[in-house]
Amino acid sequence: MAKIQRGNYAEKTVFVKVGNLSNIQKDGKLSVRIPIIDVQYVFHAYNVKNYGEDQYSWTGKTKNTESYGRLSVHYTEGKIFGDIEIEDTAFRLIDLSEGIGVLVKIKEDGGDKEDAVGCGNARKDIKFKENGSELSLEKNNSVCYVSVLFLYTDAAAQEGPDLSQLAYSAIQDANEALENSAVSSCDLRFKSVGLASIDMEESSFITEDLEIFIMGYSQADNAWLDPNSPFGTTQANTLRDDYGADVVIVFTGGTYDSTDGDPIHGEAGISVSLGGNLIPQAAFGIVSVNSAMNCKRKIFTHEIGHIMGLLHQDRMFYGRGYNFEAGGLFGKKKRRTLMHTLKKKQKRIHHFSNPDVNFEGEPTGTISANVTDGYDSVERLEQTGCIVADFREDLAPTLSVGITFSPCCSFFVNPDNTRIYTANIDNNTGQSPYQYEWRTSSDGFNYGLVLSTTNEMTQDYTGFQAGDILYIKVIATSFDGITGENFFFQEVF
């Protein structure tokens, strides 16, 4: 507690006992009085993963209220932790021991100027190779999990938060962003392959620190964009090999300066260039722990988005962030998707840009006719996911299950539709034949009887109403006894 109070992110703290969410939520609704601000909100489930009695993630958001609110709680290995976002205010819940925790109200940045960017660098000076061949898709995997190794410096550990909880939240948040944005679970999901410390003296310049991991990385001369750049020989690179990590995220503890004095929250290499060159040696990112504690910024998801080949809104490139007017709930407030940079008081929603997915009634992107126009990060992610997932061999393969659906292509379903869901198993994991168990749930927690034992399940949406969510879960078991599972959140419109 003493340490939490000293952390640069903490403004106010309070001890809380955290209840078992599976008992408290009712029909997908969770009414919560938030300590410190002492206001009651009702959160409506929209992304729930119930892995079993001892592991779940529950995310809900407010509906039809003035304030945008999002609550995301994870329960795993006896610990419950997560984030709450209420309009301009962010909270982080840290588990101290067995359901007793600290709720931290996150401090706003004192030093942000109006033109501060929420990401590391605006990268305006980087030019991509335009002569590279178009990205060719040779999928070696049919269900693509990108393995993430988390590293942390001494300074990061000194900041106080439990970094294993922060890393777990980061992966769940990033996957939730993919799900919100309708990225197919066959094309990309993230998984953690470990958390380890490194010996590293942090500098006050983030690019200088990133150069430790990406050999030859230099923002000034773009040397790192050369696909023939050598791999670094640092401890971090060795650990990456040891863990079989496709990408590496380094938690740092200090504050990074920029030329105009604003704090910098993170920076990452881009491992698939605009022209389609693969640069696995650039798949490193730095995320400041103090910034990552503030769920509003979504720094981890933003930086790993860069590693996956996404860019900021100001690049002439479809895989970029999008800035849109959200109507209704937010009046005329502008909202940004995850790859958009932020000025002070601006907010990111938990979506990558995708013209096919709406947020509060407004499209989250525009259609891309060619490589230089439109705003469609999801199209790019679905191209690069399997490529990045193939950077390193999986050392401890689990059964990777992806869910697709037919008929194609709208993500949403109408009440009079029937839809067939298909489980796809990565051809590199487990021995066939596979056994399947499909179940559905209306609240994400309570699943009914097994509805199908083949690789397909048919669901009739007669009687459903617009706004309903059906939670679909499939568990697959291989002939050699390896199990894997995945979820699908079917929104009805």
CB-wise, 44 or 123, nearer to Zn ion?
A: 123
C-beta nearest to Zn ion: residue: 119
List 126, 155, 157, 482, residue binding another protein (CB under 8 A): 157
Contact map string, positions 21 to 60, toward another protein, x by CB under 8 A: x-xx-----x-xxxxx------------------------
Angle at CA 74, nearest 5°, toward 25 and 413? 65
Length of the chain (residues): 493
Query: Binders of another protein among 59-78, rule CB under 8 A?
Result: 73
* Residue 45 phi, psi dihedral angles, 5° rounding: -60, 135
Residue 282 binds what, of another protein, Zn ion, none (CB under 5 to 8 Å, by partner type)? Answer: none
List 87, 89, 160, 226, residue binding another protein (CB under 8 A): 160
CB-wise, 20 or 458, nearer to another protein?
A: 20
Contact residues toward Zn ion (CB under 5 A) are 119
CB-wise, 305 or 430, nearer to Zn ion?
A: 305
Contact 79, 59 (CB under 8 A): no
Contact 144, 186 (CB under 8 A): yes
CB 293 to Zn ion: min, Å:
18
Residue 12 binds what, of another protein, Zn ion, none (CB under 5 to 8 Å, by partner type)? Answer: another protein
Residue 425 binds what, of another protein, Zn ion, none (CB under 5 to 8 Å, by partner type)? Answer: none
Strands (DSSP E) found in 331-397: 334-336, 358-359, 362-363
CB-wise, 10 or 349, nearer to another protein?
A: 10
CA gap 173, 167 in Å, rounded: 10
Residue 56, judged by CB atoms within 10 A of its CB (0-12, 13-18, 19+), counts as buried
CB-wise, 73 or 186, nearer to another protein?
A: 73
- Whether the ω angle into residue 409 lies within 30 degrees of 0, i.e. cis, is yes
| Contacting range for another protein; rule: CB under 8 A; set: 3-11, 206-214, 298-306, 311-319 | 3-11
The answer to whether residue 396 forms part of the interface with another protein (CB under 8 A) is: no
CB 112 to another protein: min, Å:
18
Strands of the sheet with 89-97, listed across from one edge: 29-34, 39-52, 55-61, 69-76, 79-86, 89-97, 100-106
| Contacting range for another protein; rule: CB under 8 A; set: 113-121, 157-165, 207-215, 303-311 | 157-165
CB 78 to another protein: min, Å:
14
CB 306 to Zn ion: min, Å:
6
CA gap 407, 419 in Å, rounded: 7
Between helix 163-180 and helix 299-307 the angle, nearest 10°, is 70
CB-wise, 92 or 335, nearer to another protein?
A: 92
Residue 149, judged by CB atoms within 10 A of its CB (0-12, 13-18, 19+), counts as buried
**Does residue 274 come out as left (phi exceeding 0), alpha (psi in the -120 to 50 range) or beta?**
alpha
Of 345, 341, 247, 275, which is closest to residue 302 (Cα–Cα)?
A: 341
Contact map string, positions 83 to 102, toward another protein, x by CB under 8 A: -------------xx--x--
List 45, 90, 103, 274, residue binding another protein (CB under 8 A): 103
Beta bridge partners of 439: 473
CB-wise, 19 or 78, nearer to another protein?
A: 19
SS3 294: coil
CB 4 to another protein: min, Å:
7
CB 36 to another protein: min, Å:
5
Between the alpha carbon of residue 144 and those of residues 128, 246, 275, 283, 384, the distances in Å are: 26, 11, 22, 16, 10
CB 169 to another protein: min, Å:
16
SS3 365: coil
Which tokens go with 165? 């909880």
CB 167 to another protein: min, Å:
13
CB 119 to Zn ion: min, Å:
3
Residues that bind another protein (CB under 8 A): 1-6, 10-21, 23-24, 30, 32-36, 73, 96-97, 100, 103, 105, 107, 157, 160, 162
